[in-house]
Structures are given as C-alpha cells and as structure tokens.
C-alpha cells in the first residue's frame, strides 16, 4: 500500500474511470454520502465549502455508500437527482462504494489506514482531508459538520501550504 491515494482508480457517478492522481496540487475533502441519513443535511455545508474554496484549490469528492443502515439505496441517477435538486450539489460525485467490509474500495482501505483513528469508517458523512501531494492528513467523524471550525481550520492550513 502506498502512502498516497494518487494511484487509486475510482469511477465517476457517470461510470467513467478516473485516477485520483488527476487531483495533484489540489486539497481534497473525501466524504462517504447517504441520502437518507440523519447527517444528510451536511450536503448543504459540503456544497458551501465547495463554493467557497473551489477557486483556492479545494475539491469536495462525494462517494455514495450504502454500508450504514442501508441509507443510500438509490441508483446513481437517483442519487444525482436527489443531490442536485434538494441541495444544489455541484461538487463531484462518484460511483457508489463500500467504505468497509470484504468489498471495501481500495480508496477507503487507504483512507482508513493512513491517519488516526485508524480502522473502519463508522457511519455516513465521515470526512478525510487529503493534501496537495495526495497524502491523507486528517480524519473527521460524521458529527463534525462541514461548517465546523476544526474542519475549516484544517482546510485553510492545507490550502496555505
């Protein structure tokens, strides 16, 4: 396993392959999403972060995930419809992934083994901050909202580097 996520391939929500190395030089906030979760309202804050920091080099990457309470049962097109209609999401969405378990996506294997606390994602809307070199530098539980001062401070710190 490498120390960066740059060589990991993912699928966009439209089904196209994408290498995470394409984001070199950008700060990434990677979030596992669900449309029917108590934290679903965080879509609004994530989109606000996207709008506020996109020009500075932040990319919010959303990975729908049905691993927790089956709270993301929809198809990719239903997920896009929900996110754009209800929350005006313009940040990038990806194909549904498994964040834990035997079918865990390689991205989540890397994310969850890179920073403390190490181990499985515990719920929807867990956030991972990745620096411009593709290294995972911070992990925030679901309870840390996108508007949280600690998350914003970490984003500002990485963008300033």
Active-site positions read: 37
Place of tokens 């029917």: 36
Q: Could you give the CA distance from residue 102 to residue 134 in angstroms, rounded to a whole number? A: 25
Tokens of residue 20, six digits: 């995470």
Torsion over CA: 7, 116, 155, 92 (sign) = positive
Preceding omega of 117 cis (within 30 degrees of 0)? yes
Tell me how far apart the alpha carbons of residues 129 and 136 are, in angstroms, rounded to a whole number: 6
Measured distance CA(20)–CA(17) in Å, rounded: 10
Tell me the CA distances in angstroms from 84 to 25, 103, 117, 147, one per residue in order.
Answer: 27, 28, 32, 20
């Amino acid at each position: 396993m490498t120390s960066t996520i740059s060589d990991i391939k993912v699928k966009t929500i439209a089904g196209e392959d994408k290498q995470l190395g394409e984001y070199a030089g950008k700060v990434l906030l990677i979030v596992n999403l669900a449309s029917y979760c108590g934290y679903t309202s965080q879509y609004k804050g994530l989109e606000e972060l996207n709008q506020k920091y996109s020009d500075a080099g932040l990319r919010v990457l959303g990975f729908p995930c049905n691993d927790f309470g089956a709270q993301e049962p929809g198809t990719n097109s239903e997920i896009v419809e929900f996110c754009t209609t209800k929350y005006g999401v313009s940040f990038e969405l990806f194909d549904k992934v498994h964040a834990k378990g035997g079918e865990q996506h390689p991205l989540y294997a890397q994310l969850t083994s890179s920073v403390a606390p190490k181990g499985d994602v515990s719920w929807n809307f867990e956030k991972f901050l990745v620096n411009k070199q593709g290294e995972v530098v911070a992990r925030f539980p679901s309870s840390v909202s996108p508007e949280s001062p600690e998350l914003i401070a970490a984003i500002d710190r990485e963008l300033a580097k």
